[in-house]
Chain A
Amino acid sequence: MDNLTFGFTMLIVGMGGTMLTLWLLTLVIDLLRAFFPPEPAKEKESKP
């Protein structure tokens, strides 16, 4: 494979693939956060 084709393939597929994979990861994290939302902070018991 010639260098020009190789360089452009790497740029397009590499950069695009990185962006796409990280975007996919953000979706998965959103999904995880939706399934397991943070527990509401417990109120401190006030002393009588």
Chain B
Amino acid sequence: MTSAIWSALQSLGEGFAFLGTTAGLQALVMLAVGGALLYLAVVKEVEPLLLLPIGFGCMLVNLPLSELFQEHGMLKVIYDFGIVTELFPLFIFIGIGTMIDFTPMLANPRLLLFGAAGQLGIFLTLGLALLLGFSQREAVCIGVIGACDGPTVIYVASMYSKELLGPLSVAAYSYMALVPVIQPPIMRALTTHKERAVHMPSFKSTVSRPVLLLFPLVATAIVGLVAPKGLPLMGTIMLGNFMKVTGVVPRLVKASENEIANISTLFLGLAIGGTMGAEQFLRPQTIMIFALGLVAIIVDTAGGVLFGKLWYALSGGKINPLLGAAGISAYPMAARLVQNEGLKASRQNHLLMHAVAANTGGQIGSIMAASIMLAILKGLGIV
């Protein structure tokens, strides 16, 4: 009887005993990481939709003797269902598609090219990751942080580098939130006052309904032809957009942008948090991934602005090079930053609609770049 009571009491204290071990100390560090993510989400409101479930998932999995990410554990089941199968990021893409308005970009399709220039960071960061000793597959996943597009990073990482999923996702979402801090100094450093003050012609954003309807189908078909590996990414975002512009399935649109996107975001965050065990996260690679992610976004911005400067020169000063900074996928934050910098240079300089066009181009560009990378990997026989 006494021994039974003692055994029962001992089992209740096992968690505390675990904290005294080396693994327990590592778990404490990870609990602090989870707490920091919750602090950022709740107090600073940094990407709370993702960082809150990631932070909570991180705490759940790192509490002593937690079995949530072991076989049949709740987080492992969610992970197997939505991350291993790559379904969650694709569900979120359907929701994003319903929320994007491609009209400004369709009215000024040339601005789509900024969306290509804004992907330079992906490819240069990939090279840096290789130099730092990451494998080719890992380097691809790290480079994709430069897409500034969380679901794309998660999709690619879940295909080729599941063990880096936690740090990659946290880095991607953290830097997306830091775009307002990272971009403006680069925009100002690379442009002159005269260039920033360039006024763009008035913006006509009228597009006929057939163009709005055909664009998602054509974009999907082009990716299908050029880089079929990326078809799930482009296909889902364009499905969402197509449903929206048709106007005939309002219930599906509402479900996609609310219930489906929200449920997927919650479970995606929890599952990513579940991958943040001490053994996977407390490694030198994590610090390198965060550093490379920062480099990726800096190079993206610089690449876009430099491309804008080239266009400015070729057009005889008619294009404001600041628009290049909007060629990333952080929508609509990057467009707003361009508008702010333009207004600082000249009070009558309204660049918002042009920047929104370049910004939606950045969304398409990031998916296209990721799709092409996947196609090259397949072509080279690496996957």
Q: Are B119 and A18 within 8 A (Cβ)? A: yes
- In whole angstroms, what is the CA distance A36 to B380 when docked? 40
B-facing mask of A24-42, CB < 8 A → 1, else 0?
1110111011011111010
Contacts of B364 in A (CB 8 A): 22, 25
B226 at the interface (CB under 8 A from A): yes
Contacts of A33 in B (CB 8 A): 106, 109, 207-208, 211
Given A15-B119, A30-B109, A3 and B372 contact (CB-CB distance below 8 Å): no
Q: Are A17 and B372 within 8 A (Cβ)? A: yes
Contacts of A17 in B (CB 8 A): 226-227, 372, 375-376
B127 at the interface (CB under 8 A from A): yes
Given A14-B369, A39-B208, A29 and B119 contact (CB-CB distance below 8 Å): no
- In whole angstroms, what is the CA distance A21 to B228 when docked? 13
* Tier of interface size on chain B: 35 or more
Contacts of B209 in A (CB 8 A): 36
Q: Are A10 and B123 within 8 A (Cβ)? A: yes
B124 at the interface (CB under 8 A from A): yes
B133 smallest CB distance to A (angstroms): 9
Given A18-B368, A22-B112, A29 and B211 contact (CB-CB distance below 8 Å): yes
B136 at the interface (CB under 8 A from A): yes
B116 at the interface (CB under 8 A from A): yes
Q: Which of B227, B361, B364, B369 neighbours the largest number of chain A CB atoms within 10 Å of its CB?
A: B369
Given A9-B380, A14-B372, A22 and B116 contact (CB-CB distance below 8 Å): yes
Q: Are B369 and A26 within 8 A (Cβ)? A: no
Total number of A residues with any Cβ neighbor in B under 8 Å: 31
Beta-carbon nearest neighbor of B119 in chain A: A18
- In whole angstroms, what is the CA distance A4 to B214 when docked? 41
Contacts of B375 in A (CB 8 A): 17
- In whole angstroms, what is the CA distance A41 to B206 when docked? 10
- In whole angstroms, what is the CA distance A7 to B140 when docked? 10
Given A6-B136, A33-B207, A14 and B376 contact (CB-CB distance below 8 Å): yes
Q: Are B110 and A26 within 8 A (Cβ)? A: yes
Contacts of B208 in A (CB 8 A): 33, 36-39
Contacts of A10 in B (CB 8 A): 123, 126-127, 140, 143, 373, 376
Q: Are A3 and B130 within 8 A (Cβ)? A: yes
Q: Which of A7, A13, A19, A37 is within 8 Å of B130, CB to CB? A: A7
Q: Which of B116, B131, B376, B382 neighbours the largest number of chain A CB atoms within 10 Å of its CB?
A: B116
Contacts of B334 in A (CB 8 A): none
Given A25-B112, A32-B218, A18 and B372 contact (CB-CB distance below 8 Å): yes
Q: Which of A3, A7, A9, A36 is within 8 Å of B210, CB to CB? A: A36
Beta-carbon nearest neighbor of A40 in chain B: B206
Q: Which of A13, A15, A38 is within 8 Å of B206, CB to CB? A: A38
Q: 6 tightest A-B contacts by CB?
A: A36-B210, A29-B109, A7-B127, A38-B206, A26-B109, A19-B116
26 A–B contact pairs at CB < 8 A?
A1-B136, A6-B136, A7-B127, A9-B376, A9-B380, A10-B126, A10-B127, A10-B140, A11-B123, A15-B119, A15-B120, A18-B119, A21-B223, A21-B226, A21-B372, A22-B113, A25-B219, A25-B364, A26-B113, A28-B218, A29-B106, A33-B211, A36-B209, A36-B211, A36-B214, A41-B206
> Footprint of A on B, CB under 8 Å?
106, 109-110, 112-113, 115-117, 119-120, 122-124, 126-127, 130-131, 136, 139-140, 143, 206-211, 214-215, 218-219, 222-223, 226-227, 361, 364-365, 368-369, 372-373, 375-376, 380, 382
> Footprint of B on A, CB under 8 Å?
1, 3, 6-11, 13-15, 17-19, 21-26, 28-30, 32-33, 35-39, 41
